[in-house]
Structures are given as C-alpha cells and as structure tokens.
Chains A and B, each alone.
Chain A
Amino acid sequence: MTVTDDDRRTDAAVTELPDHVQVATEEGRRLAQQLSDADTRHARKLLEVRNLTTHFFTKEGVVHAVDDVSFEIDYGETLGLVGESGCGKSVTALSLTRLVPNPPGRIVRGEIIFDGIDLMKLSEEEMRLLRGKKIGFIFQDPMTSLNPTLTIGYQIAESARIHMGLSRKVADDRAVELLSKVGIPRSRERMRDYPHQFSGGMRQRVMIAIALACDPMLLLADEPTTALDVTIQAQILDLIRSLSEEFGTAVILITHDLGIAAGMCNRVNVMYAGRIVETALVDDIFERPRMPYTWGLMDSLPRLDEERGARLRTIEGMPPDLLSPPDACRFAPRCDYVRDVCREDEPELTRRDEERHLARCWGTEAEGWIK
C-alpha cells in the first residue's frame, strides 16, 4: 500500500515540475529538474513540517510555544519528540492536527505537508474528516479522555462510523476486533461497558483502539504512558509498537522520558523552549549527543549502575520565558559550556557527523569548543 503510493508520487513528480518553478534557460531547466528531484524525495515523506510556529495570544503577551519547528517523518517510522514540560511537544502535536485551542492559540506560520496534502490549506471541515481517519491521536490521561456516559463500544465504533461510513453493526464488529487486538479479553461483552468499569491501563488500550479504528497513517501519541504505572507502561508501549508495525502506522511519540524514546523510536527530536535543538537517529543521539541539553536529559535519568543513595542529577535553572524568547541560544543560561557567542546569537540547526544528525549548538559545531 505504502510502496505503491510512493511509486505513483515519484512518477508524477518526475513528469511535471512544481508550479512555482519558472524555467527560462537550459541551465534553469537542469536546476529545476534537480529541485524537482529534491521535491520528489520530500514527497516520499509521510509528514513534512516546515517552519511551524504556534503562538498563544494571552493577556500577558504572545507566548511562542512552538517556534519555527521543521522536521519530517517517513512512512511507518517512529519519531520521538523529547523534552521537558512546557517545551512545546504537545502543542506541536496539536498543531499537526490543527487542534490548538483557538483562541488563545493560533498557528501563525508554517507548512504541514501530510501525505502530499498541505494541511494548512484545508478547510475546517476537510481537516475534521482527516482527523481520526488518517491521523490517530492518543492522549496522556486515559482516565479523563474517555466520555463517562458513552459505552466503550460506542466510542471505538464512532470513528469508523464517521469516516468509513460503516453501519452501526459493522462498526461494532470492527470495534470488537480492535478491542481484542489491543488485548481486552471478552471483548464483545465489554463493548457495552462504561469507562469507569475499566482500569487505567485498559482505558489506554481503549484509547489506542480508538486511535487505530480507521487504520491511520500517522499516530500521535502524546505522553501515552505518563499517567500509568511502570509495569503497565511497558505493556502499552509494546502494544503501540506491535500494532504500529502491524498496521504500518508511523508514530510520533511524545515523551519526556529518554528511556522510552530509546526503546521505541527510529529517530528522536529533542525540543527545548519551543525549538528543536537536536535531531538524530536514535543510536547516534544516545552514542554521541551534540547538544548539552541532551546530555543533561540523559544525565538526569536514574541509572542501574549507580551507587545506591546517590542523588539524581538535574539541570539547574528554568527554561526561558516563552513570552519573549531571547535572540540567543535558549539553553545558554543553564549550560555548563556556555561562552559569549551563545548569549549573543542563536545557533542554527546544523549537521553533525552522521547524515541525519542535526544540532543547534555553537559549541559542537566543527570549529566549536566542545569535543
């Protein structure tokens, strides 16, 4: 399915150039062809986010919650979005589905190309029909994300009824199948149950079933295990992994837990203060992180080989005020390696040693001082 989609897109892109490319000379034509090839490569991505900027317009001022964020994700890939609370992870996810509460929030700039469609250009109604069908969403707290007055069966079947035009009965059958897929025993009987009859872990399984009801291409999982205890966490993550593999669903996993990201993701984006500060394949980022903030995150994980009673390390200080982000490295005030340049100018996301490894840090640039 995915492969054929890709092929078709490749053909289309080779035969016709994008509209915005004006061709005058032979030289121009060659350049345009290269551009077009580049575009084809882009179009093979499931999701491309370019310069996404989401602001919240509050009484105190404009909060730059997501600031010029660009990333992409392949079909079937699992991408981790990691960072501490308030760094813009969740708002990024909400922006992708255009669910940022408005007012006060608004996507002020940026492109979100999903499977070749520019989501920013869709009408509200078109966007609604895409949500749930192509993009599934798992929320953080399963205890409050299910409607207490509707049966589990209804809530799972609803998406299929809206998007696939299934009758009540067929949708119910599908819901039963999904329920057993997410590991709820006696699924047909439990269809008529209400959320309060389910435990937290089971509810999160139900949320996963709802998110996957229409076999989406992308699953946004916003801290799916934060509200669960550790043993259940592992089960839920396993479930997300195995189902996303089975359905061929790409996953954006939002978490503040690097350990989870390490176990689940192909690639990781580290976010800080509304910006992506480092992105790399998961092995690269753990082997050789190129941004002091990422080190800080890793250092603050508890370790098995540590002496008992040793204190957990933390990153000193607070993230900057997103009302007026400084025109400098946003991590500089908390960074152990900070130099004057960090406080004067903000670094760009630039390439490091490996191909898909980018970092936003003066110190780890080629001529930087951090080795």
Chain B
Amino acid sequence: MATRTQALEVPAGLDAKPTSLWRDAFGRLVRNRMAVVGGVIVLILVFLAIFGPFLTPYPYSAIDYKAMAATGGIPVPPLSMGHLFGTDNLGHDLFSRILDGARISMTVALVVQVVVIFIGIPMGAAAGWFGGRMDNLLMRITDVVYAFPDLLFIILLSISFKDTWFGGAVDGLLLVFVAIGIVSWVTMARLVRGQILSLKETEYVEAARAIGVSDFRIVSRHLLPNAIGPVIVAITLGIPSAILAESTLAFLGIGVNPPRASWGTLINDGSLWMSSTPHMLVFPAIAIALALLSFTFLGDGLRDALDPKLKGKQ
C-alpha cells in the first residue's frame, strides 16, 4: 500500500511544473477541435499578412493591361491568364489584393487591440481599484463613449480629419485604427474594472499591503495577472469586431485610400459586378468570413480553456 501511494505521488509531483496553469489551458485548448481549426487559420492569415506580397507575382496596384485588352475590359475570371482569383474590372490581380487586404485586416486587429489594451486596462484598473469618485468619473466617461453610436463617431472623425496629415497617414488607415480603438476600449475597461473589483477584496491583496507593496504594484503585479485570462479572451473576441468595423467603413468608402483596398473595398467593388462576374464578390467575402469565424472560434476556445467554469455560458 505504501509503495503504491508513493508511486502515485511521484508522477503527480513531476507533472506539477511551474507553468501548469498555462499548460493546463493549452491542453484544454488543443482538445477543442473548432478552436484548433480557428487557431490554424489565424496563423495562416497572419503568415499571409506578413509574407503575402512576396508570394504573388503582382503588386496589389499593378494593372494587367494585356489581360484587360484580351477580355475587352471585362474582369478576368479565376484560374485564367495567370490570375489565381482572376482580376477586377481594372485588371488588378484579385489574389494580390486579397492578400494585401489580409495585411490591412491583421494590422487593424493588432493596432486596435493595442489601443484597447493601453486605454481600456488602465481605465478599468483605476476605476476598480480606487473606487468611489474616481470610479464614478471614469465609468461615466465610459458610458458616454459606450452610448455614442460607433459608426457615426468614426464617420464624423474621418470626415473632420480627411484632409489633414492624420487623415492620410498610413494610406488613411491610421485614422481608422484610432477611431475604432476609441470606440472599442469601453468593453475592456468594464471587464477589467469588474475583475479588479472582485480581486481587490482577496486576502492576498491584504497580505501584499501588509508587506508594503505600493498600490501601483499591487494592481500591476498582483491583480492584473489574475485577470489575464478574461482579458486575453476579450482581446481575441474583440479582433473580429475590429476587422468587421474596418471592412464596414471601407465598404462605405471611408478609410483606406486607393489604390490600396481593404476587404470591404473589394466587396463594394465586387457588388457592382455581382451578376456578371461574381468572383469579385465571392473571394473577399470568403476571406472576411474566414477571418471572423476563425478568431471567434479561437476566442471561444480560449475562454473555455482559460476558465473551464465559464464553459457554455455567455
């Protein structure tokens, strides 16, 4: 009996590596098939966004005059004349443009989430930690931003800054990044505030105070790591909305300046040719759908993996 207990204990001890929290979560994540598929597609999208321009023979702005002449100005259909996805009505290679669109979408995803992290987390943490008046003030600001119609705000912002350097920076994308970031951080602020509110009552916060840890350090080193799971999930699930917001704006003609084209721009262009050459609409639509679904599946998977108790809720 004694030896048997021993035999049981040793592997348990060895298994309990310092990274066990993350390893645990990773184990749960890879058992979730949808999340794995989503994760793989996300990785492919990221890879294409980074290396896309090196994979196609055409730059996104190149016009294939020869093909245009051959078809008589009608978009080249897929898999013909050296164009995998065909061309648009101007002779731009659609595959190259979709890859460039992936670049824009991934950049939006990244930059907007950085803005969300840098505004949302400090706001939420300060509101939750200090409470009282500070909480009231910050949360009312959050409410105002939350209540203001997002699209209206972004459109107003783009119009007001259209002709300044700010409106033209990074092919007009900087404005979109900032605008989407400004309307997106509120969810993160509320999430972090809630987390901090519940965590600050824990005894280890009292213990940290008792050894003289400063407020800033308690929040940044002791509390935020405990809130990291929900924050990661919120970031992952926030990415599809940011991509969708950017595409919507592009569809409406706001944001990226031609000749660059976001997926939204491509869909807008394609919608004009929907009946005769549907490929111009179909491919960018598939790209958007794929990106949104894969991030959502990955986010759901992460949520279940990081907090098994939440499974099936939300």
- Point out residues on A near B: beta carbons under 8 Å: 97, 99, 128-133, 136-137, 139, 141, 144-151, 158-159, 162-163, 192-194, 197, 207, 210-211, 213
**Across the interface, do B203 and A139 meet the contact criterion of CB distance under 8 Å?**
yes
Question: When the two chains form their complex, are residues A145 and B211 in contact, meaning their CB atoms are under 8 A apart?
Answer: no
CA distance A145 to B209 in the complex (A): 11
Interface centre among A129, A146, A147, A151 (most CB of B within 10 A): A147
Out of A97, A147, A150, which one reaches B210, CB within 8 Å? A97
Verify B214–A128 contact, CB threshold 8 A. yes
Residue B271 at the chain A interface, CB threshold 8 Å: no
- Say whether A131 contacts B18, CB under 8 Å: no
Q: Is the CB of A132 within 8 A of B214?
A: no
Is A147 a contact partner of B211 (Cβ separation < 8 A)? no
Residues from chain B with Cβ under 8 Å of A97 in the complex: 210
Q: Which of A131, A146, A147 contacts B209 (CB 8 A)?
A: A131
Q: Which residues of A contact B221 (CB under 8 A)?
A: 150
Q: Which residue of A lies closest to B207 (CB)?
A: A145
Please report the C-alpha to C-alpha distance between residue A151 and residue B226 in the assembled complex, in whole angstroms. 13
Report yes or no: A139 in contact with B211, Cβ–Cβ below 8 A.
Answer: no
Give 5 CB contacts A-B under 8 Å: A131-B211, A149-B21, A149-B225, A159-B211, A210-B207
Which of B's residues lie within 8 Å of A, judged by CB? Answer: 16, 18, 20-21, 202-204, 206-214, 217, 221-222, 225-226, 228
| Residues in B neighbouring A150, C-beta threshold 8 A | 221-222, 225
B213 touches A162 (CB 8 A): yes
Does B211 lie within 8 Å of A99, measured CB to CB? no
Contacts of A158 in B (CB 8 A): 208, 211, 213
Q: By the criterion CB–CB under 8 Å, are A159 and B21 in contact?
A: no
Chain A facing B: main interface SS:
loop
A145-B203, A146-B204 known; A151+B211 contact, CB < 8 A? no
Please measure, in the bound complex, the distance between the C-alpha atom of A144 and the C-alpha atom of B214, giving whole angstroms: 20
Residue pair B21, A128 in contact (C-beta under 8 Å): no
6 residue pairs, one from A and one from B, having the closest CB atoms: A132-B211, A137-B210, A132-B212, A131-B212, A149-B225, A159-B211
**List of A residues within 8 angstroms of B209 by Cβ:** 99, 131
A137 to B203, CA, bound (A): 12
| Pairwise interchain contact A163-B207, C-beta atoms closer than 8 A | no
Please indicate the chain B residues that have their CB under 8 angstroms from the CB of A207 in the complex.
Answer: 207
Complex Cα spacing A146 to B16, Å: 18
Pairwise interchain contact A210-B20, C-beta atoms closer than 8 A: no
**Chain B residues in 8 Å Cβ range of A162:** 211-214, 217
Q: Whole-angstrom distance between the alpha carbons of A197 and B20 in the complex?
A: 10
With CB as the reference atom, state the residue of chain B lying closest to A159. Answer: B211
B208 to chain A: closest residue by CB? A147
Q: Which of A137, A149, A194 contacts B211 (CB 8 A)?
A: A137
Cross-chain contact B18 with A151 (CB below 8 angstroms): yes
Known: A147-B204, A148-B226. A131 touches B210 (CB 8 A): yes
The answer to whether A213 and B225 have CB atoms under 8 Å apart is no
Closest to B226 in A: A149
Please tell me if the beta carbons of A159 and B212 are within 8 angstroms of each other in the complex. yes
Q: Are A194 and B210 in contact (CB under 8 A)?
A: no
- Cβ-closest chain A residue relative to B20: A194
Given contacts A137-B211, A144-B203, 11 further A-B pairs with CB under 8 A are A99-B206, A130-B212, A133-B212, A136-B211, A145-B204, A146-B207, A162-B212, A193-B16, A194-B18, A197-B16, A207-B207
Neighbouring B residues of A149 by C-beta, 8 Å: 21, 225-226, 228
Whether the pair B213, A144 counts as a contact (CB closer than 8 A) is no
Query: Are B18 and A144 neighbours in the complex by a CB distance under 8 Å?
Result: no
Q: How far is the CB of B217 from chain A (nearest CB, A)?
A: 8
Docked-complex contact A141 and B212, CB < 8 angstroms: no
| A140 to B, closest residue via Cβ | B203
Q: In the bound complex, do residue B210 and residue A99 qualify as a contact, i.e. CB atoms below 8 Å apart?
A: yes
Q: How far is the CA of A158 from the CA of B146 in the complex (A)?
A: 39
